[in-house]
Amino acid sequence: MKDLLKEIIVKALLTMTIVKKPEDIIIEVPKCRDNGDYSSNICMQLAAECKMNPRDIAYKLIEFITDDHVAKVCVKGPGFLNFYLNKQFLLKNLHNILISGDNYGRNSLGLGQKVNLEYVSGNPTGTLHIGHARGASYGDSLANILKFCGYDVTREYYINDSGNQIDNLEKSIKIRYLNICGDRLTMPNDGYHGKEIIKVASDIFTKYGYDASDDVFKKWGLKYLLDEIKNDLNNYGVSYDVWTSEKDLYQNGLVDQTLNLLIENKYTYKKDSALFLKTSDFGDSKDRVLVKSDGNNTYLLPDIAYHRDKYNRGFDRLVDVFGADHHGYIARLKASMTMLNLDANKLDVKILQMVRLLQDGEEIKLSKRTGKTLTMNDLVTEVGLDATRYFFAMRSLDSQMDFDLSLATKKSNENPFYYVGYAHARINSIIGDKSIVLKDDYVTLEGEKILNIMFKLYQFEDVVKLSANNMAPHIVTNYVYELATLFHSFYAKEKVLTDDLLATKERINLIKAVGIVIKNSLRLIGVKAPNKM
RNA sequence: GUCCUAGUAGCUCAGCUGGAUAGAGCACCGCCCUUCUAAGGCGGGAGUCGGGAGUUCGAAUCUCUCCUGGGACACCA
């Protein structure tokens, strides 16, 4: 609708010989519906340009605005144009919702652009924890939203199954194994202390007894931990299209290829017998090491190769979701892409802020080292999948979050998920097994509460688009919460099932539509709308 | 010290592509179940939008600066 209004204004402006593009015009939904369904500030912006009073421009302009969708246009305040939608149009949309069902809100904003979305990508050196859960919620929700908006989305997980931390994993497992065999070795500080490492070691002991050969530790560890990760993600409702292994990048020669390319392009130099990359030429704060003086690669090199590979797979856009502790990484990654003659602007890195864990208001320090963590699975068990997913989705990415365990374990109604879910359950309960009779014209749907609901329902598509453009799933949760509020308020004031058969029929259709939009909204963030509570 | 990110009601947070009287939830104080689910509704109190300056017809929103919290600044990943 916003786009349509923009066109209408552009056309009207033309008759006044003012040339503007649709994207120059701002349409917004006023906070208060007294000021119209939509409004534009265009006249105030034009005031200086035209050397005219904004209200005068506005009054002139509205003479040229005619459109079936718009019931009336008013000039208010210092020169706002306030648009009121035609009620017939909202009723037509209601019909549209009932017909479209699960597809209501789907649109073609993305024009089939190929987007690669990489998220979580936790190392296979331990169990996924609460931070990963936030990343998983975000990535999965964003993928759903982009898909819904007509993007061709590939969900990808990058497995760091090579390098230092994997050698470390191998050592850690071996130590645990030797412990089981009776050896009193202690785990070094930089080893992996998680319970899952002990589990792997004991599995190995069960299978091989005292005779495990040196090559089994890494192999078993990787397999076990990766399976566990996949399983946890699955339980979390998150799936992937592509799993890319770092080891494979080496085996396919992509790492060497990339290294040679960087050398050929003359972006490297030797210093202290290490190979440096001149990332500072392209905005990084200093140059980075690619190959260490001991001959091993740093993490950066295969990661550059990985991103190069993603570019070469023909994506229009790459999105990485990183934890806040990796933000320093963005500059060097983008710089590297530029060196490979790839367009760094296609790469978007979203940073998610830390999740702090609280217990009775006190912060609990988490550490992979000590094995003291709250896993993604623990969360689902304690809080419930839907409530967890909703909880993460409702926060904007760049706000740091506190997760209070004592609160969460109460399955507290402080989680707005219950409020939204309750609206859906209520609707479901009212409708029961009554059938929906589609109709072209509605005659009894009127009154402020009903109009507010119908207008809110209409906004859904714009909301989804806004959420996609900003890569911000929380816009959807905010919206669905507001919709639930309007519904609850309507429910408390007015009845759906009455003796008036016609009104009952029409109101059932109305709340059915509300149910559809709640369900669709929740589905985008990976949450099921409960039919009963 | 440099970079990123945040600072909005007692608490947790929306709002930030500049707009009309700054919003929710929780907490607190009142009402509302003989009526489709009270996990709900209605009303109330509660704010120097961290401080200061600037840009503008108009700033919580943009710019600069300072203060505070979190994170990052490896030949770790």
3-state secondary structure of A531: coil
Q: Where are the alpha helices (DSSP H) in A236-375?
A: 246-251, 254-264, 300-312, 329-339
Q: Are A375 and A136 in contact (CB under 8 A)?
A: no
**CB-strand contact A26/B, under 7 Å:** yes
**CB-strand contact A367/B, under 7 Å:** no
Two structure tokens written together for A109 = 């904003």
Give the distance from CA A164 to its chain's centroid: 31
pLDDT, residue A378, reads: 87
Q: For residue A122, count CB atoms less than 10 angstroms from its CB and return exposed for 0-12, middle for 13-18, buried for 19 or more.
A: buried
pLDDT, residue A30, reads: 86
pLDDT, residue A362, reads: 65
Q: What is the spatial distance, in angstroms and rounded to an integer, between the CA atom of A452 and the C1' atom of B18? A: 27
**A325-383, pLDDT tens digit by residue?**
888 899 999 999 999 999 999 999 999 988 887 766 666 766 555 556 788 998 888 88
Any idea which residue has 């009932």 for tokens? A98
Interatomic CA distance for residues A210 and A347, integer angstroms: 49
Q: What is the spatial distance, in angstroms and rounded to an integer, between the CA atom of A153 and the C1' atom of B49? A: 38
**Nucleotide whose C1' lies closest to the alpha carbon of residue A449:** B41
Cα dihedral sign for A23, A24, A30, A31? positive
3-state secondary structure of A458: helix
Query: How many beta carbons lie within 10 A of that of residue A283, not counting itself?
Result: 13
**CB-strand contact A504/B, under 7 Å:** no
**CB-strand contact A494/B, under 7 Å:** yes
Interface confidence, given as ipTM, is 0.94
**CB-strand contact A299/B, under 7 Å:** yes
Q: What is the spatial distance, in angstroms and rounded to an integer, between the CA atom of A59 and the C1' atom of B42? A: 40
**CB-strand contact A384/B, under 7 Å:** no
**CB-strand contact A354/B, under 7 Å:** yes
**CB-strand contact A280/B, under 7 Å:** no
Q: What is the spatial distance, in angstroms and rounded to an integer, between the CA atom of A116 and the C1' atom of B62? A: 32
**CB-strand contact A410/B, under 7 Å:** no
pLDDT, residue A206, reads: 96
Cα dihedral sign for A92, A479, A132, A300? positive
| Angle at alpha carbon of residue A128, lines to A122 and A131, rounded to 5° | 85
Strand B contacts in A 412-441 (CB under 7 A): 413-414, 416, 418-419, 422, 425-426, 428-430
A516: Cβ contacts below 8 Å, ≥ 6 apart: A97, A98, A100, A101, A102, A104
pLDDT, residue A435, reads: 85
Interatomic CA distance for residues A523 and A521, integer angstroms: 5
A208: Cβ contacts below 8 Å, ≥ 6 apart: A216
**CB-strand contact A273/B, under 7 Å:** yes
Q: What is the spatial distance, in angstroms and rounded to an integer, between the CA atom of A398 and the C1' atom of B53? A: 28
Interatomic CA distance for residues A391 and A78, integer angstroms: 40
Strand B contacts in A 206-235 (CB under 7 A): none
pLDDT, residue A368, reads: 55
**Nucleotide whose C1' lies closest to the alpha carbon of residue A299:** B77
| Angle at alpha carbon of residue A164, lines to A352 and A181, rounded to 5° | 110
Q: What is the spatial distance, in angstroms and rounded to an integer, between the CA atom of A135 and the C1' atom of B45? A: 39
Q: What is the spatial distance, in angstroms and rounded to an integer, between the CA atom of A467 and the C1' atom of B73? A: 32
Q: What is the spatial distance, in angstroms and rounded to an integer, between the CA atom of A398 and the C1' atom of B63? A: 22
Reported as type and span, the H/E element at residue A142 is helix A130-148
- Phi, psi dihedrals of residue A196, rounded to the nearest 5°: -65, -25
Interatomic CA distance for residues A131 and A121, integer angstroms: 12
**Nucleotide whose C1' lies closest to the alpha carbon of residue A35:** B20
Which of the nucleotides in strand B have any atom less than 7 Å away from a protein CB atom? 2-7, 12-15, 17-26, 35-42, 56-58, 69-77
Two structure tokens written together for A65 = 């605005």
**A128-149, pLDDT tens digit by residue?**
988 899 999 999 999 999 999 9
Give the distance from CA A71 to its chain's centroid: 36
**Nucleotide whose C1' lies closest to the alpha carbon of residue A36:** B20
Query: How many beta carbons lie within 10 A of that of residue A384, not counting itself?
Result: 17
**CB-strand contact A401/B, under 7 Å:** yes
Reported as type and span, the H/E element at residue A290 is strand A288-291
Q: Which residue ranges of chain A lie beneath pLDDT 50? A: none
Reference A135, options A122, A149, A123; nearest CA is: A122
Model pTM score: 0.94
Two structure tokens written together for A169 = 């994993």
**CB-strand contact A443/B, under 7 Å:** no
